């Protein structure tokens, strides 16, 4: 069994604008950098108290990798890139303000709203393909690190997939889990399945900003 500490990247300018990111390579803003630094300090304190991270994996998108590098510096580790935990490719919806999706791309917005697993977004991924990619990547990471504690820096959409898979929640069901920037979300992954230990931990961010915790990923 492997313990996974799943982390959503820090805040970006597009998060603040409620703009669809997907595979667009958006860097962290100043708030996001501060969140990553606070997370790194927190994990270093936990390490010194006996709860250490053995390895760090990250999506290869800039906002996740930047978060992982800041945290890794605090822990003396080197992040390993894993494209399988990238955000979903939202195709023609990428770059649009969330509330303007219907106006600019009504057909793609209808597909996204339907949550039909095998309906691919124009120029992007289906929800089902996204689910299979993320689950396969997390299982592969766990197999490489039996008995260890691993951090995986990813994205809101991927976190939603992981929460659903652990709880056996259908992809068509409305989103129920908080997906918070720079949060710690802990689960175990092993031959007997996935189990959530704790979700949405953000107490380490209390002094970073009073807007921490906004879920802005469509």
Please give the positions annotated as active site: 9, 87
**Closest by Cα among 42, 7, 39 to 179:** 7
Burial grade of 113 (CB within 10 A; 0-12, 13-18, 19 or more): exposed
Determine how many CB atoms are found less than 10 A away from the CB of residue 93: 23
**Closest by Cα among 176, 217, 172, 174 to 199:** 176
**Closest by Cα among 65, 113, 101 to 86:** 65
Q: What is the DSSP string of 1-26?
A: -EEEEEEEPPP-HHHHHTB--TT--P
């Amino acid at each position: 069994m492997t313990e996974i500490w799943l982390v959503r990247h820090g805040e970006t300018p597009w998060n603040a604008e409620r703009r669809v990111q997907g595979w667009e390579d958006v860097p962290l803003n100043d708030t996001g950098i501060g969140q990553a630094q606070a997370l790194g300090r927190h994990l270093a304190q936990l390490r010194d108290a006996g709860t250490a991270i053995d390895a760090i994996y990250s999506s290869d998108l800039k906002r996740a990798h930047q978060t992982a590098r800041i945290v890794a510096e605090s822990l003396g580790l080197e992040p390993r890139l894993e494209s399988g935990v990238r955000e979903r490719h939202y195709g023609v919806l990428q770059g649009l303000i969330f509330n303007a999706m219907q106006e600019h791309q009504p057909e793609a917005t209808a597909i996204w709203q339907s949550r039909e697993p095998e309906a691919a977004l124009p120029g992007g991924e289906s929800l089902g393909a996204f689910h299979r990619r993320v689950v396969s990547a997390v299982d592969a990471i766990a197999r490489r690190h039996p008995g260890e504690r691993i951090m995986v820096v990813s994205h809101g959409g991927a976190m939603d997939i992981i929460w659903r898979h652990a709880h056996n929640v259908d992809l068509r069901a409305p989103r129920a889990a908080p997906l918070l920037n720079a949060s710690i979300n802990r689960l175990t992954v092993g031959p007997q399945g996935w189990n959530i230990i704790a979700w949405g931990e953000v107490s380490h961010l209390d002094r970073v900003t009073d807007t921490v915790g906004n879920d802005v990923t469509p």
